[in-house]
Amino acid sequence: MSWLNVFGPKLVESVGRERMLSTPAHLVEELPNGSVLLVLWPTATEFASDEARVAQARAHVHLRPDLDFDTVLRTLRERSAALVPAEPRFHPDVAPLLSRLPDEFAISERQRKIAELNAFRPPVPEEWLPVALPSDVANPERVLESYGDLSEGLVAALHTKVPSIMDETAESLTDLDFYFWREDFPERYERQLIDGHTTPALGAYLGDVLVRRLGGKWVPRQKMEESQVRVGKRVWLPFLRARRYMQSCQSLLEYSLTQFFREVERYRP
């Protein structure tokens, strides 16, 4: 039973027209085609109030005598409780990302999801070193050029779906976080594609954002996951972060690009 209901002629006859027309409701009206209109409560915006839920339960058990009034009412009250607004209090480092997630859920789940996200605390980023490993590549310029190619490949692949990726900003990283999460990317795509293409390209792009926006400097290594970006007194490992990030949909939140940027930003000179 909803706030407003229109029951077709066949259902009316099945339930019994007399029973249908005697439903305790704010408005019961027989329509010209044999349908019956039921409005349970005067104001739609008050559909989740306790008084409206009581009226809804009474109407429901009137039409379905096999149902128990107390059980129906308890279920309706639980639904109302799930709709009580929860004030967002997200972890500040991931708030730009988490604030987008609740709208992706059904309205009946949204407040519960906000409460869950309020309690979410991502682990402190560990993808950094106190002292830089020296570059061990023969031609650093060529390696950095290959990183640029990887980054450009990611931009080319996603620029229509994530337009801000072309800006290489903190907001671009949040947009990527949201895109990968909404698409269930680590679960939907083949692991070979993710590990062989998406993850390296994402690591290169993340490193380039640190260079461009936080004044970082690449320190390339033969082993890609050891390649670093120096920002302030720390060196950061964007390829390692990208690998952990792409392990699962939950990892997209626990190792978000948004949080990583915020952490690095704190060490900018």
* Domain's final residue, options 71, 101, 121: 121
Q: Say what the pLDDT of residue 50 is.
A: 87
Report residue 7 as tokens: 């029951």
4-7 sheet: strands from edge to edge: 4-7, 36-39, 27-30
Q: Say what the pLDDT of residue 117 is.
A: 96
pLDDT band at 46 (very low <50, low <70, confident <90, very high): confident
Q: 76 and 130 share a domain?
A: no
Q: 77 and 112 share a domain?
A: no
Q: 255 and 149 share a domain?
A: yes
User: What angle is formed at CA 134 by the lines to CA 128 and CA 136, rounded to 5 degrees?
Assistant: 115
Q: Which helix (H) or strand (E) segment is 203 a member of?
A: helix 199-214
Q: Say what the pLDDT of residue 260 is.
A: 98
Eight-state DSSP code of residue 118: H
Q: 161 and 196 share a domain?
A: yes
Percent of the chain with pLDDT over 70: 99
SS3 of residue 151 by DSSP: helix
DSSP string of 6-48, one letter each residue? EE-HHHHHHH-HHHHHT--SSEEEE-TTS-EEEE-SS-GGGTT
Indicate if the pLDDT at residue 83 is higher than 90: no
Report CA 33 to chain centroid distance, whole Å. 45
Q: 151 and 232 share a domain?
A: yes
Indicate if the pLDDT at residue 105 is higher than 80: yes
Q: Say what the pLDDT of residue 36 is.
A: 96
Indicate if the pLDDT at residue 77 is higher than 90: no
Residue ranges making up the domain that contains 62 = 4-82
DSSP string of 222-262, one letter each residue? SSGGG-EEEETTEEE-HHHHHHHHTT-HHHHHHT-HHHHHH
Of 22, 16, 24, 84, the C-alpha closest to 54 is 24
- Total number of domains constituting the chain: 3
pLDDT tens profile 176-217? 999 999 999 999 999 999 999 999 999 999 999 999 999 999
Q: 170 and 239 share a domain?
A: yes
Q: 190 and 117 share a domain?
A: no
Q: Say what the pLDDT of residue 112 is.
A: 86
Q: 23 and 105 share a domain?
A: no
Q: 236 and 258 share a domain?
A: yes
Provide mean pLDDT across the span 72-92.
85
Q: 249 and 140 share a domain?
A: yes
Indicate if the pLDDT at residue 85 is higher than 80: no
Q: Report the chain's terminal Cα–Cα distance, integer Å.
A: 61
Q: Say what the pLDDT of residue 81 is.
A: 74
pLDDT tens profile 157-176? 999 999 999 999 999 999 99
Q: Which helix (H) or strand (E) segment is 84 a member of?
A: none
Treating both helix axes as pointing N-terminal to C-terminal, what angle do 69-82 and 50-63 enclose, rounded to 10 degrees? 140
Q: 76 and 109 share a domain?
A: no
Q: Say what the pLDDT of residue 47 is.
A: 83
Q: 71 and 110 share a domain?
A: no
pLDDT tens profile 113-152? 999 999 999 999 999 999 999 999 999 999 999 999 999 9
Q: What is the mean pLDDT of the chain?
A: 94
Q: Produce one character per residue of 21-50: b if its CB has 16 or more CB atoms within 10 Å, e if not.
A: eebebeebeeeeeebbebbbbeeeeebbee
Indicate if the pLDDT at residue 63 is higher than 80: yes
Question: Could you tell me if 59 and 1 are in contact, meaning their C-beta atoms sit under 8 angstroms apart?
Answer: yes
Note the pTM of the prediction, 2 decimals. 0.74
pLDDT tens profile 222-256? 999 999 999 999 999 999 999 999 999 999 999 99
Q: Say what the pLDDT of residue 64 is.
A: 94
For the CA atoms of 141, 145, 150, 153, the dihedral, rounded to the nearest 10 degrees, stands at 170
Indicate if the pLDDT at residue 79 is higher than 90: no
